[in-house]
Amino acid sequence: MKAYQVHIKNMVCDRCIYFVEQSLKQLKVQKAEVCLGSASFVTSRKNIEEVLDVKLKKVGLSILRTKEEILIESIKREVGRFLDGLEQHTRNRKFSSFLQRRIGKSYYKDRKSTKDTENITLELYIISQKVERVKRLIHENELSLKEIAERLHYSSLQHLSAQFRRITGITVTQFKKQIATRKLVLGSISEVLSDLKSRGFCLHFIPSGNVLRCNELSFTISIRDVNMKEIYRFEDNPRSGGHSAIFEVETTEGLKGFMICQ
């Protein structure tokens, strides 16, 4: 038996933890402990890291191999925590002191590490992550753009708009129009699924009576334990008169996926 500790890329939420836990359970390891960014376990299986990495890559996760990669991933997680604090009004705007306090390293050294490893500056990464939150809040359609700017501590509405265009290449108005016309633009199942996966709905749920089956995680769940929302309905083959509906699916544990009904 050998003890392992692996660092994992792109773990950002509880559903990532749940997926890693389920993957380790399938591999029959012992003493598994999982938290954001890492997992530890004991096993006698010699190729465990390679097998686990294959499973993780199916949902956009992967095992980090070098110290530099591990450092960059920890910085990314701290950026997420910092922006969470901004959104919840529990954090000031000084990221450099926050980062140094959290991971005990120089902000300026981390700027260089990020650029060398990710080919993007730390400043630009932070800006891009703030813009992703702007996009999410626009999708939710609960706040005005002015309120979004205030929540994320932009100095002004103009500042938000300028950074949004810098990162996305389009204006906020154009982005809103894209959302409004999404159903008209997407005309095939492949386009719809690509859009869903870009928003984090990656797992494929298959209806079977009163339960949904998820092959990626090898488990079933009662329909009563999920929230489902029909998002697209269209004809796959007009000649046969058949219709397909695609649903967003989210479990009570926070796992997100989709279901196709034909």
What mean pLDDT do residues 169-182 have? 83
Q: Which fold has domain 2-64?
A: Alpha-Beta Plaits (3.30.70)
Strand, coil or helix: 33: strand
Domain with CATH 3.30.70.100 in the chain: 2-64
pLDDT of 108 > 50? The answer is: no
115 or 210, higher pLDDT: 210
Task: Give the Cα-Cα-Cα angle 157, 171, 177 (nearest 5 degrees).
Answer: 110
Cβ atoms < 10 Å from Cβ of 54: 12
Is 26:218 a contact under the CB 8 Å cutoff? yes
> Which H or E element spans position 212?
strand 211-214
Is 254:13 a contact under the CB 8 Å cutoff? yes
Starting at the edge strand that comes first in sequence, how are the strands of the sheet with 62-64 ordered?
A: 30-35, 38-43, 2-9, 62-64
Domain with CATH 1.10.10.60 in the chain: 68-179
pLDDT at 44 (0 to 100): 92
What mean pLDDT do residues 19-37 have? 92
- 143 φ/ψ angles, rounded to the nearest 5 degrees: -125, 150
In sequence order, what are the residues at sequence separation of 6 or more whose Cβ sits closer than 8 angstroms to the Cβ of residue 102? Answer: 78, 81
Q: How far apart are CA 119 and CA 62, in angstroms?
A: 19
Q: Which fold has domain 68-179?
A: Arc Repressor Mutant, subunit A (1.10.10)
Any bridge partners for residue 68, and if so which?
A: none
**Prediction pTM value:** 0.56
- Encode pLDDT of 113-157 as tens digits: 445 545 467 788 888 889 989 998 888 788 999 999 999 989 899
pLDDT of 54 > 80? The answer is: yes
- Encode pLDDT of 68-81 as tens digits: 888 888 888 888 88
